[in-house]
A = this chain, B = another copy of it.
Amino acid sequence: MCRWAAYRGEPIYLEELVSSPAHSLIEQSHCATRAKTATNGDGFGIAWYGERPEPGRYRDILPAWSDCNLKSIARQIRSPLFLAHVRAATGGGTRRDNCHPFVHGVWSFMHNGQVADFEHLRRPLEMMLDDELYAARTGATDSELLFLLARQFGLARDPLAAMAEAISVVEQLAQRLGCRVLVRFTAAFSDGRTLYAVRYSTDDLAPTLYAAPMGGAGGYCLVSEPLNDDTEAWVEVPDGSAVVVGADGIDVRLFAPHGHCVAKDPELAAIVS
């Protein structure tokens, strides 16, 4: 289980999520309170959008709490859209290629969760990637593979449907191979314009996801767990939801991979806006 935080809105310094808050992401790397593991010390990463279409990225294998580069970079860089992640490895060694966020073209992706029996699913799933995406896989995590599968299934065309299909394909394959059918998935991803997040689990025990306004008009922050004690500000996003933060503000939808239904739900939307 990992912890992450993402932002879209007026440009703010990365440190406003990464290191400044009372329960900042760096603090959570040491003492997460709502995770299965309190320590998220197996590396970290940030991806931010600036003047280029593709994001910048910095990731490393040290615990976030002991990396001075991270503190300096997060204090210096302002961005209207960025992702930040601290890792607690479930599979895949501690190396840079296994640290989130993953980046492919203009897309970035980070994840908290797990795919049950991944060691049996990994190879047939990797077979589904076309050659370019197969070559783009540099790590060994289930997370990176889910991202590349979503790319395969049209992330650029219809982001939520592609992510739903990626999850659905994993579940169906697990069933067909007689593996445990279980995907726990709380992820954020972006193309540099819109920020997406999904909270979903096969067993309705999806890792937590919270949203709060931040950084002025129309800005939102999405996180694994709140960055401070302001309980009024943070709204928990329900299991089975997708969040979309764009130029028009925040939107929450039903997210159900089976049948690829990704419907708009006014009630859900009302929760966070």
Binding site for B on A (CB under 8 A): 30, 38-39, 41-42, 48, 50-52, 55-63, 66-69, 72-73, 75-78, 89, 93-97, 119, 122-123, 131, 134-135, 138, 140
- Given A93-B97, A122-B135, 17 new contacts (CB under 8 A): A50-B77, A51-B78, A52-B75, A52-B76, A55-B76, A58-B58, A58-B69, A59-B69, A61-B66, A62-B94, A63-B94, A66-B89, A66-B93, A68-B93, A73-B73, A123-B131, A123-B135
Assuming the A-B contacts A51-B78, A96-B95, are A42 and B69 also in contact, with contact meaning beta carbons closer than 8 angstroms in the complex?
A: no
A41's partner among B39, B78, B119 (CB-CB below 8 A) is B39
Copies in the complex: 4
Q: Are B75 and A96 in contact (CB under 8 A)?
A: no
Q: Considering only CB atoms, which chain B residue lies closest to A69 in the complex?
A: B58
Residue of B nearest to A42 (CB): B66
> In the complex, which residues of chain B have a beta carbon less than 8 angstroms from the beta carbon of A48?
76
Measured CB to CB, the nearest residue on chain B to A57 is B72
Distance of A24 from chain B, by nearest CB (Å): 17
CB atoms of B97 and A73 under 8 A apart:
no
Chain B residue with the shortest CB-CB distance to A60: B69
Q: List 26 A-B contacts (CB under 8 A).
A: A41-B41, A42-B63, A48-B76, A50-B77, A51-B76, A51-B78, A55-B76, A56-B75, A57-B72, A58-B73, A60-B60, A60-B69, A62-B62, A62-B94, A63-B63, A66-B89, A66-B93, A66-B94, A68-B96, A73-B73, A93-B96, A93-B138, A119-B135, A122-B135, A123-B134, A138-B140
